[in-house]
């Protein structure tokens, strides 16, 4: 089965590796995004998918715009591929491309379609507090993730999972589901199922403003935003931006779902007094845990943070290192205690 693989980030790597390691498939070429400049030196760096392809001596094509690159289009036609497999490629395929392979183009999408169509399904799924997500394989059409569905696989989301945690789980599931999907397509053992557009939700590109924390939101909502957009959410703190990396809402229902090692935190949370301060205020500092921040509804424990120009550190080390005080507000430009 001759396959051309389209993909770019780490999320796509397990699927490419699964295809390469399976003798029933021949990956004749890989199409990925152009190399990008990364790091302080600004050196060009290949995508994770390109690195794997080169390690297996697979031809790699990197058009800036695959729809308009005639040289790449001719190469793709010449492959006479049975199918194109697309996993987080990062460019939209034109109808010309969709019609090239004998069996069409199969996409591995990181959500349970028709929910979370779009560029960032994992991030927005967490942002909205979903308790489960999954992978959907589908036949691609000219719309944005609107093609007929083939197979699905579901995975539970743990209360403290971040987007990279969920992505790592889904990447492995997606690899297995893609192999199963292709084999069933080859044997005509699968019937594509149209999506119900009325049930569709969307996961657009993330904007910089989505990273800004508003402490008037509830502790649960802030926690979901922080883990969904990990590791980029920030709050003003003493005149600079403080990244909030990991948090725990001190909510009895959520705490009860955590492993036994969080029992001490449950006891500490139960001892906190009723909220009286403004959102964004340090309400308490729990020993060996970190700062507890007042929100619009409930308390939020800062488990891991990162100051500008420094490495990530635990919430407890941060509170000690900056000599954080109860009553200080995260939104002040300088240390401030409430009277």
* Binding site residue list for (6S)-5,6,7,8-tetrahydrofolate: 111-114
Cβ atoms of 38 and 47 closer than 8 Å = no
Binding region? 111-114
List beta partners, residue 300. Answer: 249, 293
* Torsion angle of C-alpha atoms 154, 159, 162, 167, degrees rounded to 10: -10
Q: Which residues are CB-contacts of 120 (< 8 A; sequence separation ≥ 6)?
A: 203, 204, 205, 206
φ, ψ dihedrals at 73, nearest 5°:
-60, -40
């Amino acid at each position: 089965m001759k396959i051309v693989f389209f993909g770019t980030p780490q999320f796509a790597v397990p699927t490419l590796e699964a295809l390469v390691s399976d003798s029933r498939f021949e990956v004749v070429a890989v199409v990925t995004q152009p190399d990008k400049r990364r790091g302080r030196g600004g050196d060009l760096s290949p995508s994770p998918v390109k690195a794997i392809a080169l390690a297996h001596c697979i031809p790699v094509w990197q058009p800036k715009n695959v729809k308009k690159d005639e040289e790449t289009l001719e190469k793709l036609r010449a492959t006479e591929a049975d199918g194109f497999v697309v996993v987080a490629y990062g460019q939209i395929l034109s109808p010309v491309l969709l019609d090239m392979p004998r069996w069409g183009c199969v996409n591995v999408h990181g959500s349970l379609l028709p929910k979370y169509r779009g560029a960032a399904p994992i991030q927005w799924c967490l942002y909205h507090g979903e308790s489960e997500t999954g992978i959907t394989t589908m036949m691609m059409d000219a719309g944005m993730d609107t093609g007929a569905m083939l197979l699905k696989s579901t995975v539970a989301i743990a209360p403290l999972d971040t987007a990279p945690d969920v992505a790592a789980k889904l990447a492995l599931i997606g690899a297995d589901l893609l192999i199963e999907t292709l084999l069933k397509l080859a044997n005509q053992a699968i019937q594509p199922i149209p999506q119900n557009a009325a049930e569709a939700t969307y996961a657009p590109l993330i904007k910089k403003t989505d990273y800004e924390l508003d402490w008037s939101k509830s502790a649960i909502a802030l926690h979901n935003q922080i883990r969904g957009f990990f590791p980029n959410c920030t709050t003003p703190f003493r005149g600079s931006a403080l990244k909030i990396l990991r948090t725990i809402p001190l909510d009895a229902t959520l705490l009860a779902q955590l492993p036994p090692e969080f029992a001490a935190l449950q006891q500490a949370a139960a001892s906190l007094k009723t909220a009286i301060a403004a959102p964004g205020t340090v309400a308490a500092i729990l020993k060996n845990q970190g700062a507890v921040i007042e929100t619009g509804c409930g308390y939020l424990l800062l488990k891991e943070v990162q100051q500008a120009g420094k490495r990530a550190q635990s919430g407890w080390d941060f509170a000690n290192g900056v000599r954080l005080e109860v009553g200080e507000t995260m939104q002040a430009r300088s240390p401030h205690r409430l009277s």
